[in-house]
């Protein structure tokens, strides 16, 4: 796929979603961090239901640390892998309090040093909370990037590096949100809604399907 097609794709997505953002509900970088840790192998809807219960009670590193693992579990019990996630979140709170003054760090290295935080989670926090032009490759972005030909790759890291390198700078900050929302609601895994797709004319997958 050439640069002009990429510009057309991102330009079209920008017209449809001028101010894209995550569907996770949060008010502070810390609330976003906890929500993203919870979102691994879980839907944003289920995470929002859990944090709706949790955050009115505890939404700071100190408050959640004071709850402890056993106190946190009832609030997130409906989330998959809640036992390990509770342990990771409480350990993360301890590190934030001890090493970062209770604040969420703003570097990838420091974020990835937190329990339960991998590269994808760090990218989401850097992009959504701090406005960095990072791209977190989840299953939706991986699929869209390969299916459309936007940035094909065999691994999430390979796709991420290609997206960062090939995405024009003016689109880089919002590319993460455009692609994840497009994959979630239009370019679905089993039955992509090609007839409703605003970028279908530049999509290599669709072009292969046409006679």
Give span(s): CATH 1.10.1670.10, the chain: 3-20+136-209
Q: Provide the CB-side half-sphere exposure for 2 (13 A, CA).
A: 1
Q: CA end-to-end span of the chain, whole Å? A: 20
Confidence tier at 210 by pLDDT (50, 70, 90): very low
Q: Provide the CB-side half-sphere exposure for 55 (13 A, CA).
A: 18
Topology of domain 3-20+136-209, per CATH? Endonuclease Iii, domain 2 (1.10.1670)
For the entire predicted model, the pTM comes to 0.90
Give span(s): CATH 1.10.340.30, the chain: 29-129
> Which residue is listed with tokens 């850097």?
126
Q: What CATH number has the domain spanning 29-129?
A: 1.10.340.30
Element (H, E) at 54: helix 44-54
**Catalytic amino acids?**
120, 138
The mean per-residue pLDDT over the stretch 115-127 comes to: 95
Query: CA Rg, the chain, in Å?
Result: 18
Nearest to 116 by CA among 142, 79, 91: 91
Q: pLDDT value at position 206? A: 66
Q: pLDDT value at position 1? A: 87
Q: Provide the CB-side half-sphere exposure for 178 (13 A, CA).
A: 26
Compute the mean pLDDT over every residue in the chain, rounded to the nearest whole number. Answer: 94
Confidence tier at 207 by pLDDT (50, 70, 90): low
Q: pLDDT value at position 209? A: 54
């Amino acid at each position: 796929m050439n640069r002009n097609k990429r510009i057309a794709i991102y330009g079209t997505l920008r017209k449809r979603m001028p101010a894209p953002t995550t569907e996770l509900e949060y008010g502070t970088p810390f609330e976003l961090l906890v929500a993203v840790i919870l979102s691994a192998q879980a839907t944003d809807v289920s995470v929002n239901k859990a944090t709706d219960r949790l955050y009115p009670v505890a939404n700071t590193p100190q408050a959640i640390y004071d709850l402890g693992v056993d106190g946190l579990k009832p609030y997130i019990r409906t989330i998959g892998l809640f036992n390990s996630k509770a342990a990771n979140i409480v350990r993360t709170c301890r590190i934030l309090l001890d090493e970062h003054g209770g604040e969420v760090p703003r570097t990838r290295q420091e974020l990835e040093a937190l329990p339960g935080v991998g590269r994808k989670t760090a990218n989401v926090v850097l992009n959504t909370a701090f406005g960095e032009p990072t791209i977190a490759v989840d299953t939706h972005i991986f699929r869209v990037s390969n299916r459309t030909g936007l940035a094909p790759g065999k691994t999430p890291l390979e796709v991420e590096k290609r997206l960062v390198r090939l995405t024009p700078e003016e689109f880089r900050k919002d590319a993460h949100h455009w692609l994840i929302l497009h994959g979630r609601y239009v370019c679905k895994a089993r039955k992509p809604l090609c007839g409703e797709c605003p970028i279908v004319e530049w999509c290599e997958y669709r072009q292969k399907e046409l006679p």
